[in-house]
Structure 1
Amino acid sequence: MSLPPGFLDELRTRLSLSQVVGRKVMWDSRKSNQGKGDMWAPCPFHQEKSASFHVDDRKGFYYCFGCQAKGDAISFVRETENVGFMEAIEILAGEAGLEVPKQDPRAQQKADERTELVDVMEQAVQFFRLQLRTGNASEARGYLDRRGLKEATQERFEIGFAPDAWQGLWDHLSGKGVSAEKILAAGLAKPSSKGGKPYDTFRNRIIFPIRDARGRCTAFGGRAMDPNDNAKYLNSPETLLFDKGRSLYNHGPAREAAGKGAPLIVAEGYMDVIALAEGGFGACVAPLGTAITDNQLHLLWRISDEPIIALDGDTAGLRAAQRLIDLALPLLEAGKSLRFALMPEGKDPDDLIRAEGPEAVQRVIDGAMPMVQLLWDKEIEGKNFDSPERKAALDKTLREKLMLIRDPSIRSHYGQAIKDMRWQLFRAGSGGSSSKKPWAKGKRGDWRNPPPAPATASTKASLLAGAGEDTQRQMREAVIIASLICTPDVVAEFEGQLEELHVSTQEHRAFLDLILVHSSHGPEVLREKIVDARGTDSLENLLGAGHVAITPCVRRPGDIEMAMMAISEELAKLEAEQGLSAEVAEAAEDLVGLADESVTWRLGQAAQARNLAMRSEHEDKAEYDTAPNGARISRDEKSAFDALLGKLNVTKEP
């Protein structure tokens, strides 16, 4: 059975070889480099322990250095599943979500037609290149010079010129014996609606040949020289060779450069790609003037696991980024994502390179943000979240976005990242508004929140030594923080109170922020995050302070009941102290004349609440016995002591 032209290419585009092979082998993590598509494993075709089976994911081929087995995804399925060619195609098509086309008796004929059209396109390339050297192209050459495109660059990208004539290319190809049907089928001419001779598709335009991944010219892009032309840029129409939604400008050279380790950059147009390539960024492509399609996204992921989308920093560029995010979310897989590099407002990569050089572009690329960050920034930019309803609306929008992600693991990680950013926005004292644009000038360094300032000498000192009038409050805060660090499982129970807690020092605020963000990962991870952000000395000073070290929660980490008791008591005391202070301050304002009974009653109630809070609110559940000398002895502790003496065979005195 013959398959339609392009079906196998589409099948290989949808599936990476490492995905197909990965079902049958265990990758060697020491030798494999997933980022470069360079994978190694013991060979599935012969018995061995060493990893001599090599998969080149970008080229789509495998080879075993032991038994010399080699092939592509189709041959791998045929050999491992013991099936025929068409059965292997059906297996792979099912995994890729494609339907195997029915038998097409004209398949070979179409393949021959494609070969003939490729030859016609190559003749057109030569014609356009020659025309750029004629006198009629002086204005076009001047434009290219002003854009900084040297002759070597023009040769590298085969830039040409379509003369301002109705049948310039038509007459040239016809004179070479090319039939009218082939010229029209290649999209190089259009039939006249007035019954006359067909006319050239491209006229008075600078021409950019568009080649597929195999280097075959499949279409052209033309930049108008007439400023009054209706279309500044024009692409070839859809043909047997050209499908705009499945093509990328500079595909082949970019794939080769990315295979050598260069980051894949996705720009908007031909000139951007050419400027980037000449600036040293060899792995760059463009989606031919349209929004990126799902097929183009799969092509990009075949080249690189994490393409960098370079967009203009204006409103149109940001809208394009949002459309791409909506397209990409359902297609995300483990290891496959996007990063976004937003250019300075009003500039594209070509402008930036000509104005400030490749170093400026490199800085923007280095600061590229992950997709989850741009998704978050888009939803909060310029908005105020000063009410529960607005916060709920934000949560609803983000949940809808997250539900687009099909992979549950990726969806979970996105949810955690958004939770972290939400905490940073709504944490106590930070307000609920976001008016700054994260892509504004000077804000493109690290996309993440900057780390807290390193601990100074004053913050490394003990709490008592550094305390002033708020010594008692700081001590209570320290006990709460230490209890949370030692038993982070209880954080969820106090999350609301901790978010609203107004602490007395910036260091305590930093500790609480870290606890609220990382407590769900367990005590070990939480301590690592605290040490990374605040330093080992800061943590040791907190836990080693005398009033903290003696607390049962620190001496018995992980005791949930003890931690719940201690934290709830300390929070109640802090709340009561704060309430009393507020009442005193308000009463002082009211004491302009003589104090009335209402003022003294309010102060009395606040003082009583404070005194009650100072006492333990939890019943002592221990049982006691009375010793001969009248002292109370805990029955549990006495039993434990008797058991220990029994093991030591010690006889107690009567």
Structure 2
Amino acid sequence: MKIKDVIKHLRKKVDLLKIIGRVVELKKRGKYYMGLCPFHAESKPSFVVSDNGFFKCYGCGAFGDGFTFLEKHTKQSFVNIVKTLAHEYGVQLAIGENRKFESETLEINNNKMQICFKENMQSKPLDYLVNERRYPISLIRKFGIGYGGNSALFKNRITFPIRDQRGFLVAFGGRSILNQLGPKYINSSSNHFYDKSKILYGLYESIPMIKKNKMAVLVEGYFDVIALRSMFIPAISSCGIGFSKDHADLLWNYTDKVILCLDQDISGQKAYEKNLLILIARGFTVYVAKLERKDPDEMWQEKRYEELKMSVLNASDALIYQIQKTLLEGCGGVNFRICAIRNLLKFIRAIKDPFILEKYLSIASDILQESKENLVQLLKEGFKQKDDFIVRADKWTDAEKLLLQVAILYPELIRERHEVLDVKVNSELSETLVAICSKRDLLNIETKQYSDLAMATSQLWDQDYHEISYEFAQEIIEDWIMKGKKKGYRDTYVEIQKGIYEATKEKNLEKVLKHLKIQNNLILSQAAIEKAKLLEQEQEFERRFRMNNNYHVDGLCSENDECNYEYDEYVNFEFHEK
């Protein structure tokens, strides 16, 4: 029996009064049955069940049939509800068709939710999309954007329908529009048919454009996809997680060219490097679109449509862009050049085609003014580099890596606060810090041999700590010094306890009293330090509180200000490989 027939059969066969009567005490009133609503607290009955198979609460607005009631009451999925009722009412489901059954029931349920979400698109969410995000109603309807309303998972969230590559509606993404607790973006739970690492938002809708232009544009968010697709640019994004190898395999079925068009903030640049590595390893030809603003959605909101389109049309070869970036990053001195070149080589190393590898090594040699032989040698070292140091460096804590980056960027701070050297850390990091304080180079210039310290620097340069400010660096060092003092206090306290234990075993009262006195002084001194620290924090809080209360922001729009926008017609897009 087909799933639609199963559901239709169950709707006729299911006794709604019996199902609801298990939960609610119903009393007949004329041709209706009434009781206290199970979905909200009430003292007078407002929950009505009719004989045509539907219920409605006039208190909270809950409405639906037997399936809806069980979903709301049991919190189970629609698929499980249908299976349970089929078993209860003796409707047979073929075992071999279970997966198909689940797929069809999931799609039916999601389509039902999509209808509700679109009906919820009223004044508040429309105002957010039209006036704040500057998307016209025609686009909102075209892309099926809805509003979660009071739904359990997507309450007060804009909803985006997510389809797999076959076009089946498998999930929803949600974006909060209020300053509510919790993450800004959420997605439906994973299941057999919705694996976030294997689904790309916008892929199904963009397939015709991808085939026509022979490329796809990878962006970060749902709104970025909509901004570009509104201009007929084939944009896609992952759903709440990073771009994965599975995503690359999926995309490979439709194109071998990708333009990366990611946010310009730190997280966006980190995602750019990760995605670039995955795509190169899979064999893609990769381009990068350089945006003047943070992301495509932001440029859309500013009505910079032509500039956004041209940024994509003029996308540069991503590896050449990476080589040019390496040249700039290496301007800070020898150590910076080492780190930048090693970072570049991890991308070149990922190239599988030997002819393409040779091509980019030649380009890197020309731009960086570095002999091709040296680059090849470094590339070979990268393949062989399995020594213990690198393995150990991988196991460093984030705090240790952060301290090393501070030492590289602001060596003068390490020299000024040399107490940081007293804090016990791993031997490689200690060696690096001592080298920096004694102004030793991380590279032996004459022999061109990379020391362990240079390897440490290059190994950890992949981390996203380039943007550490001077003030934050000072805080990091102070935290390390405080950590060392606390550890020293704990170690001393343990030694005193050992002394007391040994003296007690020896029955030496004089030694016991001596250790107790030392312990008491230690505790008092630590308490004084903590008290002073608390007092300093209170004073800082009071200072900030006074400053904030005297602070006034001008120039904000009042509630009565009109927010007008103009919407240009879609622009045609066609990408030509340069």
Q: TM-score range by the shorter chain?
A: 0.3 to 0.5
Bigger relative CO (Cα 8 Å, ≥ 6 apart): 2
- TM-score relative to the length of structure 1: 0.40
Structure index of larger Rg: 1
- TM-score relative to the length of structure 2: 0.45
